[in-house]
Every structure is written in structure tokens, then in C-alpha cells.
Amino acid sequence: MGNARPSAVDALTPRSAAAQWLRSVEAVIGAVAAAILLALLALVIADVYLRYLFRSGLIGTEDLAIWLHVAMISIGAPLSLGSALAMRLDVFVKLLPERLLPATLALGDVFSVLTALILLFGGREIMSMLGGVSPTLGAPEWVRFGFLGAGGGLVLLVLFLQRISEGRLAGLVASSIAGAALYISVPETSIETVFPPSLFLALTAAVGVVLAAPLAHSFIAAAYVAIAFGSSLPEPAIVSTTVSGMSKFLLLAVPFFLLVGGLLTASGGADRLVQFAASMVGHRRAGLAQTTLLTSVLFSGTSGSSVANAAFGASTFQPELVKRGYPPAQAGAIIAATSILDNVIPPSIAFLILAAATNLSVGSLLVGGFLAGALMAVCLSIAIQLTVCQKVTQGRATRKERLQAAISAIPAFGLGLIVIAGIRFGIVTTTEAAALAALYTVGLAIWSGLGFTATYFAFQQAASEAAAIGLLIGAASPFAFLLAVDGVSVLVTQVVTLFGGSAIAVLILSNVILLIVGLVLDIGAAILLLGPILLPAAVTAGIDPIHFGVILVVNLMIHGLTPPLGVLIFVVSGVTKIPATLLFRAVIPYLVSLLLSLAIMCALAVIV
């Protein structure tokens, strides 16, 4: 017995064992999230089928879909902890000396630990307090809030496994103790101050952002800390407001559009769009760069995600651009700049978030996005023509070749017809159009021979990305609520009045605010927080709300190219391995052209 060899399990170190458990837990979570997304798609499609063919429907479909969406967000939220989906701003942390890094990362984890405890115990408290049964589903109302409580427990589990597998046990213990201490002490603390609680919420969230905590966790933890400064949102209300923020049927379009982009890329539909674009403009000077731009315009009608377009362009166009003589940094800058169009040209996830935050018409925003996207594309095309020195490297396509490329791309073009025509002419709602587009893309994937594994990973990726976006939307709701309670929107309107209250004053002030906030805040969070604040001032000044909404989205999307956050720059940098600093420098000419398009939009808002 004494000479028995240790088993493989006995030989595992705590780090390797934690890594194995982490992979298993994430695989299970991903499978459940993907299954919920599939169920959501089936549910919405079934309701559309019954309503339009049989003039009937399933009772409680919308409520059930919302509940499933909350469940998908709650269960899938831990998957973003170790990825770019966490929307961490780590640029400040990277500037610190190496010896300070472990302590700084541990401080950032305090926000995640505190958030997990708030969701876990706050959700449990709501479950014990809330009575009643959903009239349409016949299920207890507390179930929806229980999902988020379970999500908090999963966040803790995944965080613990990640830190142990990384060998950061000491930091994990310290952040756990600090997070638990804050959770216990904040409700017992009362700090008298003349300043509104939303100010301390913003300051605490800013600390979390600087410490590279996940953006959603920074918001939720900050809302809890604001209790000590007189916030009107106790712990159960924070969880309740978070759930309410993500409980909108319109937001179901987000995972469906993400699924469309993933399946279109995996099935080769995106490649056919590239071939069509190349046949149209590839023969010109800087033809491949112009092809990249045109592909972004075409791809914009399918995915609605600039991040997805940037990742696709970086892997598809970057090698070819470099091969044909483009400097690597310039090639990456072109890809990042053209990717902006994906969140402006419909379907746009950014416009969906804006509509959910302000109750603006989705259809009208999409029309405005078309016009704005066209103007931005023209400005980018001119900038590319002026900055690219490469000569023509591709012959002009014949009429037959163009026709063949167009026919090959017809299936992908069909998506635009489903989404835009369906929404604009009132045939289906935005969520239903997104579901039909997703079903259509599933059909394309099957027809192209895409295997089960690739299809499954497309569902899993879409569910994970949608969970991260959904959690951010929910996490921004307590912040938005406190801003409304503290009268920040009224204050902004008063400030605008001091500057004359004219449309020009509103546009200048709004753009300055957006340009500053966009430097350090994710576009989704900025829309959710600033949209309801700035829009009333714009309407008071006589600016068309749809036009202003388009300006707001375009302004914030431009920050995908600006330091320190520059998410599109970092996506391209991650795929191509080009240092982000070089890309930030190379993108300046294209950034100037986009700012010019923004200035034109603002001038038109004043003239019209």
C-alpha cells in the first residue's frame, strides 16, 4: 500500500484542479445559456407563425420570453468575467508598476464580490418578500428575481475558480473579506452630505472602472455603496430595478441579431458579401480598402454589432491588406474605422438600447441610421482615397462576374429585406424581425453544410455576448433611476438655458458631454445614462428627437476608435497582434473624417 502510485486526481495541484473545474462549469453554463437562446427563438417564431397564419397566439408568450431572457442573462453573466465582454478598462492598471498589480487587481475584484453578494442575497430577500402570481404564466412572480440571485452565486463560483487557477489565492481571500465587509457595513452606515447620492454612485463607479472591475459590476456595487449617502434604493430595490431594466421585450432582439452575425460568418455568407464588394470596387485605387468599407456597409445589415464586424474584418481583410503593401497599422485602422458603421446602419444594437431607454420609435431611428451611415461611409471613402497610396492590384470585374457575385450574395441580402422592410412597414415588431432573421440564418447555415458543433458555438457565443450586454443594461438602471430622482435631467436643461437654450447651445453642450464621457464609458452604458438626460433638453430646444438620437449614437460610436477605451481598436489589436498604440495613431485620419460627418449631422439638425 505504501508503494502505491498516486492517481491522476491525487497528482492534481489546486491550480490545475480549479482550472479543470472552471472549464467544466463554463461549459455547462454555456450549454444552458445556448439552450435558453434556442428556446427563446423557438418561442418567438411560434408566436409569429400562429398569429400571422392562424390569427391566434400563445397566451403569455411575451412574458415568458422576458423571463427566459432574464434567465439567460443571469446564467450567462459569469462567462464574461475573464473576457473582453466584461468591458474592463484596464489601461490605467497597465500603467502601474508590476509590484502594485496584484493588490490593484484584488481591489477590482472587491466590486465583483460585492456585486455577487448583492445579487445573491438581494434576490433571495425579494423572493421572500414578493407575493403574487403572474396572470399570464401562472408562475410565482419571485421566480424572475430568483434567476438573478442564482446568477450572483454563479459569479462567485466562477470568480473563485478563476483566481485559484491563476494562482491569486491571497488576492482572492483579501477581496472576499473586503467585499463581505462592505456588504455588511454599508446598510449600517449613514453619512450626512449636501450632495446627491447619484454623485457618490458615479464616483464609486469611476473607482471601479479605474481598477479594471467589470463595468456592470462597478455600477451595481456603486449603487449599493450609495445607500450610505442617502440613496432611496435599498438592496432589494437595486436588484428589482436591475431586473426591470433588462425585462423589456425589445431587448430580445439583441441576442437574435448577435446570432445572425455569428451564423452568417460561420456559414460563409459573410465571405460572399466580401466577394460582391470586391467585384464592385476592388479594381479602383485603394480597391481592397474600399472593399473593406463596402463590406462593412453590407455586413451592417446583418449583425448589428460593430465588435463582430471588427473581429470579422481583422481576420478576413488584415492579411490581404498587408500582403498587398498596406502598412499593418494602417490596415488595422481602416478595419476598425469601417466597423463603426455596424452600429449605425440598421439593424443596430445601439439604436435598440436607445429606444429601450427613451421610448423613441425604433423604425424612425433605423431610417435615421441609414442616412447617417451613408454620410459616414462617404466621408470614410474619401479619407481612404486620400491616405492610401497603393495602386490598383485587381482587374475590373466583368459584368458576368459582378452578376455571379451578386447572385451568390442574394441569400445574405435577404436578411436586410426581412429586418428593415418588416420593421419599417409594421409587418413585424423589431424583436420578431430579429427572430425571423435568426431563423433565416439558421436555414442558411444548414443549407451551406455548417455542422452541429459550429452552429452550437454560434448559439453559445451569441448567448454569452447578449448576457454581458443585458447585465450592463440592467446594472445601469439603478444609476439612471437615481439620476432621475436627483433631477440631473432638469439640471442639464437649466444649464442649457443659461447658454441661451438654442439648438446650437444644446448640440455643443451635448457633444462635449458625450465626447468626454465616451472616452471612459462603454457605448451601451453611456446611452442608457445620458440618453434620458440629454434628450429632454434637445426637445425643449426644438431639435427633432430622432435626429438627436442618431447624433448621440454616432458620437458615442466614434469613441470605439479613441483612447483609452477604444473597444474597436482593442478588438483589432487582439486579432492582429498589432500594438493598440500604433493603431490609435494610424486611425487619426479616419477619426477626423467621422468627426466631420458628425459635424454635418449637427449642422443639419440646426438647419432642419
pLDDT digits (tens, 9 = 90+) for 478-534: 888 887 787 776 777 677 666 666 788 888 888 888 887 777 666 777 887 788 888
Least confident of 243-257, 512-526, 532-546: 512-526
Which candidate, 481, 479, 566, places its Cα nearest to that of 518?
A: 566
Using DSSP, state whether 234 is helix, strand or coil. coil
Q: How confident is the model at residue 8 (pLDDT cuts 50, 70, 90)?
A: very low
pLDDT digits (tens, 9 = 90+) for 84-115: 566 677 767 777 888 888 888 899 999 999 99
End-to-end CA distance of the chain: 89
Q: What are phi and psi of 140, to 5 degrees?
A: -60, 140
Instruction: Tell me how far apart the alpha carbons of residues 341 and 309 are, in angstroms, rounded to a whole number.
Output: 9
**pLDDT(1) > 50:** no
**pLDDT(183) > 50:** yes
The answer to whether the CB of 558 falls within 8 A of the CB of 344 is: no
Q: What is the DSSP letter of 427?
A: S
Which candidate, 549, 312, 260, 251, places its Cα nearest to that of 419?
A: 260
Between 544 and 134, name the one with better pLDDT: 544
Q: State residue 85's pLDDT score.
A: 63
Q: State residue 412's pLDDT score.
A: 64
Q: What are phi and psi of 133, to 5 degrees?
A: -130, 140
Q: Output the 3-class SS for 509-520.
A: HHHHHHHHHCCC
**pLDDT(303) > 60:** no
- The three cell numbers of residue 104 are 490593484
Least confident of 149-163, 435-449, 584-598: 435-449
Instruction: Tell me how far apart the alpha carbons of residues 366 and 360 are, in angstroms, rounded to a whole number.
Output: 11
**pLDDT(214) > 80:** yes
Span 180-208, average pLDDT: 89
How far CA 484 is from CA of 45, 96, 488, 562, in Å, comes to 37, 36, 6, 29
* β-bridge mates for residue 140, sequence order: 133
Span 46-51, average pLDDT: 84
The answer to whether the CB of 466 falls within 8 A of the CB of 73 is: yes
Other CB atoms within a 10 A radius of the CB of residue 211 amount to: 21
Q: State residue 27's pLDDT score.
A: 92
pLDDT digits (tens, 9 = 90+) for 565-599: 677 887 787 667 788 788 889 999 999 999 999 99
**Burial annotation 319-341 (CB, 10 A radius, 16+ → b, else e):** ebbbeeebbbbbbbbbbbbbbbb
Share of the chain above pLDDT 90, in %: 21
Average pLDDT of the residues of the chain: 81
Between 168 and 517, name the one with better pLDDT: 168
Count how many residues are written for the chain. 608
**Burial annotation 235-269 (CB, 10 A radius, 16+ → b, else e):** bbbbbbbbbbbbbbbbbbbbbbbbbbbbbbbbbbb
Which candidate, 251, 245, 250, 184, places its Cα nearest to that of 482?
A: 245
Q: State residue 173's pLDDT score.
A: 93
How far CA 586 is from CA of 336, 392, 562, 592, in Å, comes to 10, 22, 11, 11
* β-bridge mates for residue 228, sequence order: none
Q: How confident is the model at residue 182 (pLDDT cuts 50, 70, 90)?
A: very high
Three-point CA angle 531, 533, 537, nearest 5°: 105
Domain ranges of the chain: 12-247, 252-450+486-607
Q: State residue 86's pLDDT score.
A: 64
| Percent of residues in the chain assigned helix, strand, coil, to nearest 5 | 80, 0, 20
Three-point CA angle 426, 431, 437, nearest 5°: 90
Instruction: Tell me how far apart the alpha carbons of residues 299 and 306 are, in angstroms, rounded to a whole number.
Output: 10
The answer to whether the CB of 119 falls within 8 A of the CB of 154 is: no
Q: State residue 73's pLDDT score.
A: 92
Q: What is the largest CA-CA distance in the chain?
A: 90
Task: Provide the strand spans (E) within 266-309.
Answer: none
Instruction: Tell me how far apart the alpha carbons of residues 26 and 35 are, in angstroms, rounded to a whole number.
Output: 14
pLDDT digits (tens, 9 = 90+) for 335-364: 889 888 878 887 777 888 888 888 888 878
pLDDT digits (tens, 9 = 90+) for 376-433: 999 998 998 888 775 545 556 666 666 776 666 666 666 666 666 676 666 777 788 8
What is the per-residue DSSP string for 176-188? Answer: HHHHHHHHHHGGG
- The three cell numbers of residue 352 are 435598440
Q: At 351, which amino acid appears?
A: F
Q: State residue 265's pLDDT score.
A: 74
Which candidate, 371, 412, 336, 392, places its Cα nearest to that of 544?
A: 371
Between 497 and 45, name the one with better pLDDT: 45
Span 246-273, average pLDDT: 77
| Residue given cell 424572475 in the structure block | 144
| Residue given cell 420593421 in the structure block | 423
Q: State residue 247's pLDDT score.
A: 86
Span 431-438, average pLDDT: 83
